[in-house]
Structure 1
């Protein structure tokens, strides 16, 4: 170990001086980080080259995972961990008189994702490499990514997140692999010498798609996969076509921000261009790779598995059809057969109204050839499915309905596999949302419950907990996550439970120090830390928690002895820029924080902390400190959730509805070790279908609820006159779409049970331990192995990864 450290120190000093021409002692933390990252490239460079070469030479079947989002977080510690160099690097850097952790914090979080969808994609990339699966990510290299969130007078303000202001030390620009993407113009079909119709393009706009590759390093093995992100640039040979700054900026805009505001036509058009840009660039890259293998086109599905993560990359389907038909001369039947065997699709939403669709006229103007192909898919669908199942079913499942291209329909019809992301989610898809597709293609549907990588969320985010686990059960769990279940044997070990509480207390103190420094709010680490961190959306019901805080406020004001357990309510969430109602909820929570945090009668028992610009690094700080995990979406609305898994893996107890993966968490950890409340999914559906729910009745007949809702409009909470009235109306006048008032009493009862349980530290710690012990079941390593076996049909390198059972 000592010799490794000395060697690492010498290499680091040389790297720094070669880079900056002065000593590391004179550098900034950013410079020190960049030097460390560049040094690390020497350690994984050969592995990366060998993995790519092996895949090519062995003509391995490779997975190409298309996602509009990736949310990798800081990558320095992750790469060091996976290379087996974390302790070596920490000892070496600290030994030079530097602060390793401070250098780690100098890395900027890549702003490439929003929430669970993007984080899932990054967990999958990590798990594919760690299980030895030949996997590639395809995405967009956003210049600013998702916005940087700031609170001004409690309101969310969106600023550019300039995460590329310094060198991105991990990426490699592959200019020689660039491809061109066409937009607009017109396309006419002209007979050729063989009397086949071939497209001729006129007045199209050509964009250059330049790939930037980032290594995805497997845990303690030799696999290094590739995440390829594309950047839109003006083509070198066609620069004269972009003479004005406006024309050049229009090109750059395509890869500038994640999810541009779609509240107007221009914003929606930009989103459509982004999606096609990703799909065309990625598919062309795959085709170029396959053609280099010198194989027959019939072998394409044997070498390529393309997975669509949600509907955003659905245009991959007509784009590959375009290439096979127009460029390679295959017949429609040959091309469609390849498509069907190659593509698989993950659905991430239960809500039919949330499934993506595009106006036909927009697609025709922007992607004329793609729309021609979609029309032909639509025509053949009616012809074949109409004859088999009748025109009504054919219409309900068609790719084009009422002038709209239905992206989910297109993805389902073309793919050989369609999966949900939690047991309940898949059941709802099959029985309700997509039941007509289940009728015509029952074998396609399957479930793959989401997962998280414990490497990121325990080994890196919570090193003290990881070390404690090592001391009791050894390190086998680090490569075989289900081994963490051995902790169950220690649930009566008082010494371990005391140590577990000490780890939690230290993590809470760490977060409290951050809050004091960054937000000027003092919070008590002895209080119960109650955490709700996820996208701000009405169905996720952050508002329900806000109503609960208002209720506690009044209980304390009227009877200070009624609340015995102090709590810190911790929120982290961004609202989409055009999502007005969600932004009003943010304002409400921030105003509520100002009220309770500055009221001496209340602040002893309640503090509210809403962290700005929530992302992976903040999650790594918050999650290890959490005592209670809020998973309170209306049953039947959350597809899966993954924050529930991250929090339980760090010893937080779930309070939640039986929604998404909460159902499987309940089954895994036992109902006694979490707090359940609220309507079940079938009860929600029955209540909606019967039309007997009248939220105003709860307002008029439940004095507790009336007092809470009146607080929104009577001036008790300062500076929310407009927001309070809108939220009040949504709950009373417009009948409370997500049944907050129906679930409220049950929710408060569960919260009171949590208060009571927290009073017994030994029993609380035992429940925490059992949650940690059950968390291995939710490792994304097992999730991707199920994808590999049952959907992608690729062989993982299990000889590189110690997993005996992933069924």
Structure 2
């Protein structure tokens, strides 16, 4: 069972059983008869990890021999989910392990269920990063993720009387078999301190950073295997440790707490994902996290480079660094500090290297979401970096004034430093100035970046801007999440789609094939039964798999308009109880998603949905036709069950607010028909699957802009002239959905009608109610509906993250596969 250089471990059933037994006995010290399910999980995981590291060593040897350029993906979030099943799928060992374990009396599915998600992110940003790592490895591209090894991931969500309650998610409390600690490769990170303004012997300014505190960043490596197992890259996550364990002298004096204070403070840095920024202490910790993460990453990247090269002029030809949103933007100032301060490169040379190394991905269209940090806070955390940022800005603005003399408005608009009562560092501006590429994540998003969010920068550097529409990995989101559909597809057109999702196009020939459609709908029915079991267990609501499953699952935010979906549910409920109008298509409305702990309106929306669910599900007439379930603690593992079971995918953000979306792609790939606005990647999905195979409603971007800029729009006009709209809003003005808490939802009425609704719920409500009637009519014709489902699946090939990564590699990074 040994593995030597150039040889691989055997994968026969006997070998798999032997290595699992070996790890249980010798790695975990447990006899098989006494083993718990979690110990068996560890033994299986270690057996799989052995195989991953065999391939990782082979991969690294191949990269070194080829002198390849490496890509480093810097992200504050990596929403990885569970690793065992995904690794087995990509190694093509899932069935072998399952059968081997069955012979030993172990149910592999039961083993997988006992594990925790690696919830190191809170939504699409982190899940996209995870998809990208999968695609980089599958394509054989030397690509590495860098992030923080949070001890507590995204909070666990519970409901108490309909309100969201957050509890901690200590996903590492029982260890993680997929991580390897690398303490010998730890990075030293200076924090705080002050700048001493000095000059060198030549009289040149030479500042000294003094009185800093030192924090140690210990890397933990997680192998990332591509499909087929030929390439294994690495996700490196850093944990913060104190540079000193404790002060022995203080300890001997009897004050233990004071003795370990610095250790506790240092290690808090990697304690929790996104501390609340409602208070200064939270904002301070969040900025320290961002700085700690990029300082460790740049130090590590440079160390890898210097193992093979001694000339930093080669750096951009051997290193590409992609900033996943603005959180890692301080990496630009850190690389400059490293080159100028530690290696004495002239500023101009260091800046050329830096600019050619970095690329920046923007993920938002909301101006308020563009990250800014008070200058005073930046100076406190990283004073040398603030100096460098000011110098970057000074030189940049000099260029602007040369090209556009006298244009003070342009200078103000593009400056990295925002003037005001409290000066702020604009992190998006730093990212754009310090990168050679700026990309959006959907065609519409990129055009809006150019024309509305960042027009001055587009004016400066039109060639910097490019689009890279997001994608998702079909391995996790189809092959693993939906084995029934995957098997049907493979039986029909072969398995080439797993590596090249465009091959799904061949399914279009079966859009009217009765046998294929029957098999497709049988798979969907089985997935809905599985989802119904989850809903019963977690949401305590019994639902009928024969109803239409209408799903709105994503982070709770006003712009994503869960409230609009709730208005529709109320409309259908009122039709039943007031008009005696029973729907021809009974529906199950499924909600899932978390609200940020400090986001009060989003948390009120959760309470509202749960109240609506309680009222509807208890009504003796309505409950026969409508059920509402809010599934708590939405995460990757839950999404893998919800998405394959959905009939309808709600992608109803206000046009011009969603950068891209990736949930829309996952749902369509799994055969759910989209109800959506002309927003984000919905437009590209519509263009691919065909306008007739998707349900589009509401105002487009230009229509929303006209409402925003014009004076003729008044939501009261719709309220007074549309009986359906009036009845819905009156229901929330009254106590129908809050009988024991009178007036609880009056805010909905006031919010939507008194001019504070910047997401135009009322403006789009009539169109939304109308398109839902179209959905009902279509669903009644089973064969027609199934045909639409096939055409959606068949035309989602472009939404593979493999395609996205190949575009990044070609247009931004200048790398290719190293197979």
**TM range, smaller chain:** over 0.9
Q: Which residue of 2 aligns with 1:295?
A: 310
Tell me if 1:342 matches 2:357: yes
Q: State whether residues 247 and 260 of structure 2, in contact with CA within 8 Å, keep that contact through their aligned partners in structure 1.
A: no
Tell me if 1:705 matches 2:722: no
Q: Which residue of 1 aligns with 2:561?
A: 541
Tell me if 1:431 matches 2:451: yes
> What secondary structure does 2:649 align onto?
strand
Tell me if 1:794 matches 2:815: yes
Q: State whether residues 713 and 721 of structure 1, in contact with CA within 8 Å, keep that contact through their aligned partners in structure 2.
A: no
Q: State whether residues 65 and 135 of structure 1, in contact with CA within 8 Å, keep that contact through their aligned partners in structure 2.
A: yes
Report the Cα distance in structure 2 between the residues aligned to 1:742 and 1:138, rounded to whole angstroms: 43
Query: How far 1:600 sits from its partner (Å)?
Result: 1.4
Q: Which residue of 2 aligns with 1:776?
A: 797
Structure 1 residues 183 and 3 mapped into 2: Cα distance closer, same or farther (>3 Å)?
A: closer
Report the Cα distance in structure 1 between the residues aligned to 2:181 and 2:117, rounded to whole angstroms: 19
Q: Which residue of 2 aligns with 1:669?
A: 689
Aligned with 2:416 (options 391, 394, 399): 399
CA offsets 1:167-215 (integer angstroms, 9 cap, x no match): 2000010101111111111012311234333332222121111110100
Query: How far 1:705 sits from its partner (Å)?
Result: 1.6
> What secondary structure does 2:206 align onto?
strand
Report the Cα distance in structure 2 between the residues aligned to 1:200 and 1:331, rounded to whole angstroms: 17
Q: Which residue of 2 aligns with 1:688?
A: 708
> What secondary structure does 1:613 align onto?
coil
Q: Which residue of 2 aligns with 1:351?
A: 366
Larger deviation: 687-696 or 778-787?
687-696
Query: How far 1:721 sits from its partner (Å)?
Result: 4.4
Report the Cα distance in structure 2 between the residues aligned to 1:233 and 1:148, rounded to whole angstroms: 25
Q: State whether residues 788 and 796 of structure 1, in contact with CA within 8 Å, keep that contact through their aligned partners in structure 2.
A: no
* CA RMSD across the alignment: 1.6
Q: Which residue of 2 aligns with 1:805?
A: none
Q: Which residue of 2 aligns with 1:468?
A: 488
CA offsets 1:666-695 (integer angstroms, 9 cap, x no match): 000001101000000111112211233222
Structure 1 residues 40 and 356 mapped into 2: Cα distance closer, same or farther (>3 Å)?
A: same
Report the Cα distance in structure 2 between the residues aligned to 1:193 and 1:290, rounded to whole angstroms: 31
Q: Which residue of 2 aligns with 1:640?
A: 660
Structure 1 residues 320 and 238 mapped into 2: Cα distance closer, same or farther (>3 Å)?
A: farther
Structure 1 residues 210 and 20 mapped into 2: Cα distance closer, same or farther (>3 Å)?
A: closer
Larger deviation: 724-733 or 235-244?
235-244
Structure 1 residues 29 and 411 mapped into 2: Cα distance closer, same or farther (>3 Å)?
A: same
Q: State whether residues 549 and 647 of structure 2, in contact with CA within 8 Å, keep that contact through their aligned partners in structure 1.
A: yes
TM (norm. structure 1) is 0.97
> What secondary structure does 2:796 align onto?
helix
Tell me if 1:734 matches 2:734: no
Report the Cα distance in structure 1 between the residues aligned to 2:129 and 2:747, rounded to whole angstroms: 36
Q: State whether residues 591 and 720 of structure 1, in contact with CA within 8 Å, keep that contact through their aligned partners in structure 2.
A: no
Report the Cα distance in structure 2 between the residues aligned to 1:250 and 1:656, rounded to whole angstroms: 46
Q: Which residue of 1 aligns with 2:136?
A: 128
> What secondary structure does 2:597 align onto?
coil
Query: How far 1:247 sits from its partner (Å)?
Result: 3.3
Q: State whether residues 382 and 391 of structure 1, in contact with CA within 8 Å, keep that contact through their aligned partners in structure 2.
A: no
Q: Which residue of 2 aligns with 1:55?
A: 63
Tell me if 1:108 matches 2:125: no
Larger deviation: 300-309 or 557-566?
557-566
Unaligned runs of 5+ in 2: 1-9, 251-256
> What secondary structure does 2:397 align onto?
helix
Q: State whether residues 582 and 625 of structure 2, in contact with CA within 8 Å, keep that contact through their aligned partners in structure 1.
A: no
Aligned with 1:724 (options 742, 745, 767): 745
Larger deviation: 93-102 or 685-694?
685-694
Q: Which residue of 1 aligns with 2:465?
A: 445
Aligned with 2:266 (options 227, 239, 251): 251
Q: Which residue of 2 aligns with 1:98?
A: 106
Larger deviation: 359-368 or 523-532?
359-368
CA offsets 1:376-433 (integer angstroms, 9 cap, x no match): 1111122111211233212211100111101111101111000000000001011111
Tell me if 1:308 matches 2:350: no
Report the Cα distance in structure 2 between the residues aligned to 1:685 and 1:238, rounded to whole angstroms: 59
Structure 1 residues 602 and 562 mapped into 2: Cα distance closer, same or farther (>3 Å)?
A: closer
Larger deviation: 351-360 or 287-296?
287-296
Report the Cα distance in structure 1 between the residues aligned to 2:593 and 2:247, rounded to whole angstroms: 41
Q: Which residue of 2 aligns with 1:580?
A: 600
TM (norm. structure 2) is 0.95
Q: State whether residues 75 and 324 of structure 2, in contact with CA within 8 Å, keep that contact through their aligned partners in structure 1.
A: yes
Q: Which residue of 2 aligns with 1:498?
A: 518
Query: How far 1:42 sits from its partner (Å)?
Result: 1.5
Structure 1 residues 59 and 237 mapped into 2: Cα distance closer, same or farther (>3 Å)?
A: farther
Q: State whether residues 157 and 633 of structure 2, in contact with CA within 8 Å, keep that contact through their aligned partners in structure 1.
A: yes
Structure 1 residues 721 and 120 mapped into 2: Cα distance closer, same or farther (>3 Å)?
A: farther
Aligned with 1:414 (options 434, 438, 441): 434
Larger deviation: 478-487 or 711-720?
711-720
Tell me if 1:235 matches 2:252: no
Query: How far 1:455 sits from its partner (Å)?
Result: 0.4
Report the Cα distance in structure 1 between the residues aligned to 2:35 and 2:204, rounded to whole angstroms: 65
Larger deviation: 782-791 or 53-62?
53-62
Report the Cα distance in structure 2 between the residues aligned to 1:394 and 1:715, rounded to whole angstroms: 53
CA offsets 1:317-371 (integer angstroms, 9 cap, x no match): 0011111111010111011101110000000001122100111111111111111
Report the Cα distance in structure 2 between the residues aligned to 1:783 and 1:357, rounded to whole angstroms: 28
> What secondary structure does 1:215 align onto?
strand
Q: Which residue of 2 aligns with 1:756?
A: 777
Query: How far 1:723 sits from its partner (Å)?
Result: 4.6
Tell me if 1:142 matches 2:162: no
Report the Cα distance in structure 2 between the residues aligned to 1:7 and 1:61, rounded to whole angstroms: 37
> What secondary structure does 2:48 align onto?
helix
Q: Which residue of 2 aligns with 1:382?
A: 397
Tell me if 1:283 matches 2:298: yes
Q: State whether residues 269 and 289 of structure 2, in contact with CA within 8 Å, keep that contact through their aligned partners in structure 1.
A: yes
Report the Cα distance in structure 2 between the residues aligned to 1:720 and 1:265, rounded to whole angstroms: 35
Q: Which residue of 2 aligns with 1:803?
A: none
Query: How far 1:23 sits from its partner (Å)?
Result: 3.6
Q: Which residue of 2 aligns with 1:593?
A: 613
Q: State whether residues 149 and 156 of structure 1, in contact with CA within 8 Å, keep that contact through their aligned partners in structure 2.
A: yes
Aligned with 1:162 (options 141, 166, 170): 170
Q: State whether residues 696 and 735 of structure 1, in contact with CA within 8 Å, keep that contact through their aligned partners in structure 2.
A: no
Report the Cα distance in structure 1 between the residues aligned to 2:267 and 2:581, rounded to whole angstroms: 60
> What secondary structure does 1:654 align onto?
strand
Q: State whether residues 246 and 260 of structure 2, in contact with CA within 8 Å, keep that contact through their aligned partners in structure 1.
A: no
Q: State whether residues 186 and 219 of structure 2, in contact with CA within 8 Å, keep that contact through their aligned partners in structure 1.
A: yes
Q: Which residue of 1 aligns with 2:375?
A: 360
Query: How many aligned residue pairs are there?
Result: 797
CA offsets 1:6-35 (integer angstroms, 9 cap, x no match): 221222222222234444343222111111
Report the Cα distance in structure 2 between the residues aligned to 1:570 and 1:335, rounded to whole angstroms: 53
Aligned with 2:279 (options 252, 264, 274): 264
Q: State whether residues 343 and 416 of structure 1, in contact with CA within 8 Å, keep that contact through their aligned partners in structure 2.
A: yes
Report the Cα distance in structure 1 between the residues aligned to 2:641 and 2:655, rounded to whole angstroms: 29
Query: How far 1:516 sits from its partner (Å)?
Result: 1.9
Q: State whether residues 538 and 631 of structure 2, in contact with CA within 8 Å, keep that contact through their aligned partners in structure 1.
A: no
Query: How far 1:244 sits from its partner (Å)?
Result: 3.9
Report the Cα distance in structure 1 between the residues aligned to 2:669 and 2:49, rounded to whole angstroms: 31
Tell me if 1:624 matches 2:644: yes
Q: Which residue of 2 aligns with 1:482?
A: 502
CA offsets 1:208-251 (integer angstroms, 9 cap, x no match): 11110100101114211010001111114886699444433322
Q: Which residue of 2 aligns with 1:206?
A: 214
Q: State whether residues 588 and 720 of structure 1, in contact with CA within 8 Å, keep that contact through their aligned partners in structure 2.
A: no
